[in-house]
């Protein structure tokens, strides 16, 4: 072994504090261990096998592995793993202990807050439901749309159980005129919304103190919910009794959509093309100069809203029978709901395809669809029978689509809103028929979009008057909330 220069040894000893003789003995011992390991039979066998493989691979002899190199590499790996364990492994254990302590502290805080909530409920005379908070919401829900569904979602988010009261035909007629949809049709829409847990039929339009007391006692209600827009009938607040009892909570109104707006779209229905020019004259489909009538919606569909409506949806299991059904689903109505219920009964997982605005208009003409693609997607997502939706679904159900979605059955009803001609229907379902997975089932109801449009257009004057009154109230609501009148005055100066 070469001698270490005296000056270098002195400096090393000065900075490390180690004795020179001790260092020398450690180095000699390490050399002896490496030498013994290099001469061992297992190492020799391993090196020979590795070199044999390398030789066959074309590696030159001068680049082959030596026993010393093999032992040194193995020692380096061991030292690295040991160092990592002591340097990082113990750090991970400490981090896990800190996280466990934080989690325990958070659980204790939640438990403390729950106890405080129970005490507050007992103090103000309300019932304690062991964490169950029951919400009540009522309304006419005439021609129910995704705005109503979003209101249900918001109301339920304030508690754990949502009870919805549906106003009776008689009470609606007395306070605001006859509803477009009857009791059964409105009940079907409300009770099959996935955000609703329970439905109360035949509720009065104006909530009296006696009725409020009955609702709270019968359904164990903690809070009564309504939108933040005023609900006034004959100069009286409909929810005055609930507010006096300290049971009222408001939720933000779903802006950009209303029944009034949708009825207005139906009153515009005619035989003109779906596209109209900026001058208002009916023209051919020229994208650069025309505007789709279905784009008149002011609702702002965000990815967050789609995610909230998609809450709870899961991928199908490998053993699930996947059912697929496509269509326009324009102005989502009770006929759609009953058909989706029938389709879901045929399998375990229901995927609903929703066609684009252009596809729907090409097949159905006129000023259809009344609702744009995003509006129709939210409406279908709100149905409790739907497991997933295919947005902008392909017109033709291809073999690749069938395989990708693992579709076991493609469903079509005997009566629907699509008005498909025989050739379009034949082309669309061609591959499903070839695969023998196409099924046409009887529609549970004859109710279609045409029925809604006919009801509105046969009473145009009545609905036009109601729309004018409602639009005035809506304008006052937005003006009060956003102070739009001041902004408009400033802009005109």
Whether 60 is in a domain gets the answer: no
In this structure, are 392 and 474 located in the same domain?
no
User: Which two tokens mark 213?
Assistant: 């007391």
Q: How confident is the model at residue 113 (pLDDT cuts 50, 70, 90)?
A: low
User: Which two tokens mark 452?
Assistant: 């809604």
Q: What is the mean pLDDT of residues 231-244?
A: 76
In this structure, are 334 and 223 located in the same domain?
no
Q: Identify the domain containing residue 473 by its residue range.
A: 459-492
In this structure, are 206 and 311 located in the same domain?
no
Higher pLDDT among residues 307 and 187, named by residue: 187
Which pLDDT score is estimated for 198?
Answer: 97
Which residues are paired to 163 by β-bridges?
136, 198
* Domain closes at, from 232, 254, 276: 254
Residue 4, pLDDT above cutoff 60: no
Within 10 Å of residue 13's Cβ, how many Cβ atoms?
14
In this structure, are 317 and 229 located in the same domain?
no
In this structure, are 431 and 290 located in the same domain?
yes
Which pLDDT score is estimated for 295?
Answer: 41
Q: Could you report the per-residue pLDDT of 285-315, keeping only the tens digit for each? A: 444 333 433 445 566 778 888 988 998 889 9
In this structure, are 159 and 286 located in the same domain?
no
Check if the beta carbon of residue 267 is closer than 8 Å to that of residue 465.
no
Q: Could you report the per-residue pLDDT of 130-182, keeping only the tens digit for each? A: 578 999 999 999 989 999 999 999 999 889 999 999 999 999 888 888 888 99
In this structure, are 287 and 426 located in the same domain?
yes
Check if the beta carbon of residue 267 is closer than 8 Å to that of residue 456.
yes
In this structure, are 439 and 464 located in the same domain?
no
| pTM assigned to the model | 0.64
Higher pLDDT among residues 462 and 210, named by residue: 210
Higher pLDDT among residues 404 and 33, named by residue: 404
Q: What is the mean pLDDT of residues 43-60?
A: 79
Whether 280 is in a domain gets the answer: yes
* Domain closes at, from 222, 254, 286: 254
Residue 262, pLDDT above cutoff 50: yes
Q: How confident is the model at residue 465 (pLDDT cuts 50, 70, 90)?
A: low
- How many Å apart are CA 358 and CA 356, to the nearest integer? 5
Q: Could you report the per-residue pLDDT of 114-133, keeping only the tens digit for each? A: 555 555 544 444 444 457 89
* Closest among 304, 267, 300 to 453, alpha carbons compared: 267
Which pLDDT score is estimated for 82?
Answer: 74
Residue 327, pLDDT above cutoff 70: yes
Angstrom distances, CA of residue 262 to CA of 210, 293, 299, 330, 377 = 35, 12, 12, 11, 16
Whether 47 is in a domain gets the answer: no
Mean of the per-residue pLDDT values of the chain = 77
Which pLDDT score is estimated for 47?
Answer: 76
User: Which two tokens mark 148?
Assistant: 């109503």
In this structure, are 391 and 469 located in the same domain?
no
Which pLDDT score is estimated for 423?
Answer: 60
In this structure, are 376 and 299 located in the same domain?
yes
Sort 180 into a burial class: Cβ within 10 Å, 0-12 / 13-18 / 19+. buried
In this structure, are 183 and 222 located in the same domain?
yes
């Amino acid at each position: 072994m070469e001698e270490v220069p005296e000056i270098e040894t002195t400096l090393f000893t000065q900075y490390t504090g180690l004795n020179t003789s001790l260092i020398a003995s450690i180095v000699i011992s390490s050399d002896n261990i490496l030498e013994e390991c290099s001469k061992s039979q297992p190492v020799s066998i391993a090196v020979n096998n590795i070199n044999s493989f390398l030789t066959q691979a074309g590696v030159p002899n001068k680049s082959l592995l030596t026993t010393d190199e093999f032992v040194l590499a193995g020692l380096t790996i061991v030292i690295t793993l040991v160092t990592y364990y002591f340097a990082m492994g113990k750090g991970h254990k400490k981090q896990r202990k800190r996280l466990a302590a934080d989690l325990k502290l958070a659980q204790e805080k939640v438990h403390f807050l729950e106890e405080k909530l129970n005490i507050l409920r007992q103090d103000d005379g309300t019932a304690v439901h062991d964490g169950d908070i029951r919400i009540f919401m009522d309304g006419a829900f005439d021609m129910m749309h995704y705005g109503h569904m979003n209101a249900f979602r918001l109301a339920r988010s304030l508690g754990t159980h949502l009870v919805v009261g549906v106003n009776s035909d008689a009470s609606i007629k007395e306070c605001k005129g006859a509803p477009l949809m009857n009791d059964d049709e409105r009940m079907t829409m409300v009770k099959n919304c996935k955000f609703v847990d329970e439905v109360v039929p035949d509720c009065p339009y104006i909530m009296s103190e006696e009725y409020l007391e009955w609702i709270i006692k019968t359904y164990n209600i903690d809070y009564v919910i309504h939108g933040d827009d005023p609900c006034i009938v004959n100069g009286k607040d409909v929810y005055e009794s609930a507010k006096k009892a300290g049971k009222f909570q408001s939720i933000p109104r779903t802006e950009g959509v209303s029944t009034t707006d949708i009825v207005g779209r139906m009153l515009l229905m005619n035989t003109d093309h779906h596209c109209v020019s900026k001058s208002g004259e009916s023209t051919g489909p020229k994208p650069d100069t025309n505007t789709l009538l279905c784009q008149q919606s002011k609702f702002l569909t965000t990815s967050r809203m789609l995610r909230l409506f998609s809450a709870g949806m899961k991928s199908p299991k490998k053993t699930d029978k996947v059912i697929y059904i496509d269509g326009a689903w324009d102005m989502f109505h009770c006929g759609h709901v009953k058909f989706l219920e029938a389709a879901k009964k045929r399998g375990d997982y229901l995927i609903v395809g929703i066609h684009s605005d252009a596809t729907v208009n090409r097949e159905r003409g006129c000023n259809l669809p009344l609702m744009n693609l995003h509006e129709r997607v939210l409406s279908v997502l709100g149905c409790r029978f739907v497991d997933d939706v295919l947005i902008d679904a392909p017109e033709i159900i291809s073999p690749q689509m069938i395989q990708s979605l693992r579709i076991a059955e493609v469903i079509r009803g005997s009566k629907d809103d699509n008005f498909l001609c025989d050739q379009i229907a034949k082309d669309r379902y061609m591959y499903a028929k070839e695969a023998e997975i196409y099924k046409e089932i009887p529609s549970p109801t004859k109710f279609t979009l045409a029925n809604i449009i006919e009801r509105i257009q046969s009473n145009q004057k009545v609905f036009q008057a109601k729309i004018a009154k409602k639009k005035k109230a809506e304008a006052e609501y937005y003006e009060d909330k956003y102070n739009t009148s001041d902004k408009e005055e400033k802009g005109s100066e």
